[in-house]
C-alpha cells in the first residue's frame, strides 16, 4: 500500500480532532529495509525481557505491525538480527518498540520496517515476563490490538480504523 503519513493527516483532520487518529511523538529511529509499512497492530508489554517478543515473531504475522511497549528502557537490545529474520520469514510488516534494538547491520538487511528508540549491544533478559494482546501506551499514545499503524519517514500514526 502506498501512503504518506503527512497526506493521511491532511485528509483526516476530523479523525485527528476526534482522537481516533493519533500521531506518535518523533522519538523513533528507522531500521530495516522498509522505509514505510502499515498493518493492524499486535501489542506486547514487556520490560527488559524479550521472550514474548520472540514468541510473537515466531507466529504468523499476516501483515501486522508488532507494537512493543518496552517501558522506554535503553539498557538492553530487545530485537536483534535473529528476531528480525523471524519477523521477515513469518510475514510481519514491521516492529515499533519503545526500547532498543541490536544487530543493526543484520536488521537493516531484513525486508521489514523497524522503529526503535535506539541501539544497545547487550541482549535482553529471558524470563518470560510481560503480557500480550492488551491496550498499551507507547510514547504517550494509546495503542489497542487491531488499531491500524502507518509508518513512514515522516512519522508513526495510530488509527482506530483503516485509512485505505
Confidence category of residue 89, pLDDT binned at 50, 70, 90: very high
Q: What angle do CA 89, 24, 30 make, to 5 degrees?
A: 45
Which domains, and CATH codes, for the chain? 5-13+28-159 (3.50.30.40)
The answer, yes or no, to whether residue 1 has pLDDT greater than 80, is: no
User: Given phi > 0 = left and psi -120 to 50 = alpha, else beta, which region is 59?
Assistant: beta
Beta carbons of 163 and 6 less than 8 angstroms apart:
no
pLDDT in tens, 13-34: 999 999 999 999 999 999 999 9
pTM for the structure as a whole: 0.97
pLDDT the model gives residue 60? 98
Beta carbons of 41 and 146 less than 8 angstroms apart:
yes
pLDDT the model gives residue 5? 98
Q: What angle do CA 97, 47, 134 make, to 5 degrees?
A: 70
pLDDT in tens, 94-147: 999 999 999 999 999 999 999 999 999 999 999 999 999 999 999 999 999 999
Amino acid at each position: 500500500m502506498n501512503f504518506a503519513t503527512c497526506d493521511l493527516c491532511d485528509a483526516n483532520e476530523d479523525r485527528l480532532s476526534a482522537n481516533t487518529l493519533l500521531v506518535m511523538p518523533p522519538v523513533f529511529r528507522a531500521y530495516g529495509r522498509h522505509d514505510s509499512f502499515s498493518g493492524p497492530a499486535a501489542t506486547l508489554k514487556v520490560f527488559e525481557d524479550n521472550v514474548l517478543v520472540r514468541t510473537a515473531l515466531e507466529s504468523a504475522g499476516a501483515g501486522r505491525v508488532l507494537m512493543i511497549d518496552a517501558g522506554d528502557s535503553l539498557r538492553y537490545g530487545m530485537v536483534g538480527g535473529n528476531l528480525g529474520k523471524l519477523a521477515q520469514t513469518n510475514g510481519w510488516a514491521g516492529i515499533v518498540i519503545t526500547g532498543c534494538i541490536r544487530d543493526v547491520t543484520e536488521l537493516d538487511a531484513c525486508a521489514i520496517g523497524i522503529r526503535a528508540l535506539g541501539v544497545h549491544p547487550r541482549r535482553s533478559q529471558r524470563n518470560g515476563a510481560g503480557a500480550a494482546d492488551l491496550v498499551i501506551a507507547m510514547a504517550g499514545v494509546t495503542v489497542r490490538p487491531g488499531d491500524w499503524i502507518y509508518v513512514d519517514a515522516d512519522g508513526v500514526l495510530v488509527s482506530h480504523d483503516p485509512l485505505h
